[in-house]
């Protein structure tokens, strides 16, 4: 990950050339307005089926565009040992930071968010569910999210944000903001930071596989160490949310 030159194409798709105003409206509607409606309007939207529909739609649009390099949807050949070591080293540091932060915040309510009363709750009390999450989450959630917020976003909105810092920031903001559906500030802030890292990884490598590996590391860690409910909260029924808020209080 040493080079700053992007591995993703810097050329705007001929199919999208001259459509910048429409793309700005589309991006705002799908990536900004839709999450806000799901979060704040009293309608029940199943999140995983919605993610599946979004990812399949994005894949369909990408496949229809001959200027999109389909190798970027996997591109295992470009992954170098140095890339993996960099990602693993950064993960080791940030995983320790996340664990330490949770240890300090156990049982506390901060800015309206109730932190869990203890760490490692999922592997300790529901080990089989934890195993299912460790296996299923990277496949069911991570790959689909990377199709939408990395491969599709980078290709579709290149005329709006370029391929440099602007695109990394836009992708990260969109990725963080969609987690407003979880109805807590931690999910938004954590995924905003994660979104920057995952977007940088995708931009530099041109490999959605590599960005998905990194994404899966952090996702599996937050479910393991004890942050998991913060990334499920918004999908729970109101009575379950109230039980969680009062737990340990």
Q: What is the pLDDT of residues 14-72, one digit of tens each?
A: 888 888 999 999 999 999 999 999 999 987 889 999 999 999 999 999 999 999 999 99
Residue 128 exposed, middle or buried by CB count within 10 Å (0-12, 13-18, 19+): exposed
* CA nearest to 227, candidates 133, 141, 149, 140: 133
Rounded to 10 deg, the angle between the 208-225 and 185-205 helix axes is 150
d(CA 8, CA 200): 11
> What total number of domains does the chain contain?
1
Q: Would you list the DSSP string of 117-184?
A: SSSSHHHHH-HHHHHHHHHHHIIIIIHHHHIIIIIIHHHHTHHHH-SSHHHHHHHHHHHHHHGGGG-S
Element at 91 (helix H, strand E): helix 81-105
Kindly report the average pLDDT of the chain as a whole number.
91
Q: Would the pTM of this model clear 0.85, i.e. be above it?
A: yes
Residue 5's DSSP bridge partners are none
Average pLDDT over residues 216-241: 82
d(CA 65, CA 157): 13
In a domain, 40, yes or no: no
Element at 220 (helix H, strand E): helix 208-225
In a domain, 228, yes or no: yes
In a domain, 94, yes or no: yes
In a domain, 207, yes or no: yes
In a domain, 199, yes or no: yes
In a domain, 50, yes or no: no
Domain span holding position 239: 81-246
* CA nearest to 217, candidates 53, 98, 52, 121: 98
2 band by pLDDT with thresholds 50, 70 and 90: very low
pLDDT tens digits, 65-103 = 999 999 999 999 999 999 999 999 999 999 999 999 999
| More confident call, 210 vs 244 | 210
143 band by pLDDT with thresholds 50, 70 and 90: very high
In a domain, 136, yes or no: yes
Residue 174 C-beta-side C-alpha neighbours within 13 Å: 26
In a domain, 205, yes or no: yes
Neighbours of 108 (CB within 10 A): 12
pLDDT beyond 90 at 124? yes
């Amino acid at each position: 990950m040493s080079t700053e030159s992007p591995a993703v194409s810097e050329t705007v798709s001929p199919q999208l050339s001259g459509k910048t105003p429409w793309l700005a409206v589309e991006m705002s509607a799908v990536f900004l307005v839709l999450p806000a409606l799901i979060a704040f309007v009293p309608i029940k939207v199943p999140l995983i089926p919605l993610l599946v529909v979004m990812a399949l739609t994005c894949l369909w649009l990408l496949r229809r565009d001959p200027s999109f390099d389909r190798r970027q949807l996997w591109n295992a050949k470009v992954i170098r040992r140095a890339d993996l070591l960099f990602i693993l080293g950064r993960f080791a540091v940030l995983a320790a930071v996340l664990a330490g932060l949770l240890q300090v915040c156990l049982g506390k309510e901060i800015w309206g968010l109730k932190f869990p009363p203890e760490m490692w709750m999922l592997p300790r009390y529901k080990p089989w569910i934890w195993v299912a999450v460790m296996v299923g989450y990277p496949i069911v959630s991570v790959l689909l999210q990377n199709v939408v917020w990395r491969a599709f976003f980078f290709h579709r909105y290149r005329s709006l944000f370029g391929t440099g810092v602007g695109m990394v920031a836009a992708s990260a903001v969109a990725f963080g903001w969609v987690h407003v559906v979880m109805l807590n500030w931690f999910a938004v802030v954590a995924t905003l930071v994660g979104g920057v890292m995952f977007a940088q990884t995708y931009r530099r490598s041109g490999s959605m596989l590599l960005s998905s590996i990194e994404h899966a590391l952090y996702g599996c860690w937050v479910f393991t160490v004890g942050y998991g409910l913060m990334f499920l909260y918004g999908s729970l029924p109101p009575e379950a949310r109230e039980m969680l808020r009062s737990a340990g209080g």
